A and B are shown apart, each in its own frame.
Chain A
């Protein structure tokens, strides 16, 4: 296979455009070389916003690449808000906000109140109870992957056969999504986070595809919501439709966007941590052997996979007033993109940041977000899924060998793989 070892590569900073989606399919080594130089030389580098048909292009943004700056912004939500949009470089038009705003693009106190409806479900204690079902899902998916390899020529696609189905099934179980609706959920989730990748947007313009996918997810939610109001169950969808905040139920729109957020976020992030964690292990066979031999490393290794991959590349914050941060003057309305992927390789925060070390401890990575109220809701779930899945892969697919270069998603926002070819060498 072609190995992507992160070694320093020469990079011309004036050629780097973080708004250019094509830049994001280039090898990670190049990406991290650019981040290294941005951190050192242009810690608040300015970039113009990309032009997207149907959306007005805004004034541009600052790329935050140093760990300390990122933490300072993230931990001051009153000064650097999320409510102007956290997941798009552009200010979100009203019709998009309706479907994709949700908690991520909301500020306290409303954010905290709505988040607490589901936060209990995602705590370590509650998830302990779902551990057996996560194990069952993983075992089932890995057995199916082996059958796929045996039925064919021994090859599998890590993304389609392992990394996508595991988190999809786990989150759909938690939400109570019927089996027959799950392929549709995967497909629409892909479109919503496609970054306009032409392979995922079959026809028409990306904006229409986003909206259609959002409306279809909302239609699914409406159907399930009606069913749950009639017959409540022990699932997240029931919690969304029955819980009251400040004496009122959530609005239709709030439920729809929360529903979409849980499904999309629960799907895409863990998928990419799984696939690229496997890729990292293929590129670092010593670390793979070390982790496989020692279940005691599960905790640190999972954190290192999240640091290394940084499945969500950035979130946005917007200044609510004029001010100064670590020597940088800013004005109300200025946009900051918090590049978690860059902060996670900051030598000021990590010793040997370009080394993939499954025993790294401490590991204060920001792969689940930094300080502040928007810390990843699903962090504990993701940790469990990853720990269970990697351990099971070592045990049940010890002969898995990554064979080809990955096919990267053309997105700046999600560090995603569309395909990762592999084979099971035990299959003849």
Chain B
């Protein structure tokens, strides 16, 4: 599983940080930073939740 983020679309709502705090962080610029671009199996559900719930559709997963 590979995670990517579109920082232009992101408004830093932090929903992803709430749902998968080990994978996502809102950084000092107020936009998302992917901490772990290829998260392990144990993060799969949380990451999918975060992608689905991102208010601006700024996150994507492949694989």
Contact = CB atoms under 8 A, between A and B. Distances in A.
Contacts of B18: 124, 380
Contacts of B21: 124-125
Given A123-B17, A125-B21, A380-B18, A375 B30 contact: no
B55 A117 contact: no
A120 B55 contact: no
Given A125-B17, A125-B21, A115 B56 contact: no
B26 A125 contact: yes
Contacts of A117: 30
Contacts of B57: 75, 371
A115 B14 contact: no
Does more than half of chain B's interface fall in helix, strand or loop, or is it mixed?
A: loop
Contacts of A124: 14, 17-18, 21
Contacts, number: 69
A125 B13 contact: no
B30 A369 contact: no
Q: Which of A119, A125, A371, A377 is the most central at the interface, judged by chain B CB atoms within 10 Å of its CB?
A: A119
Interface in A111-143: 111-112, 115-120, 122-125
Interface residues of A, number: 25
A112 B11 contact: yes
A377 B14 CA distance: 9
A119 B26 contact: yes
A380 B31 contact: no
Nearest to B12: A119
A373 B12 contact: no
Interface of B: 8-15, 17-18, 21, 25-31, 55-57
Given A115-B30, A124-B17, 14 more contacts: A112-B8, A116-B12, A119-B13, A122-B14, A123-B26, A124-B21, A125-B14, A125-B26, A371-B57, A372-B55, A373-B56, A375-B56, A379-B13, A379-B14
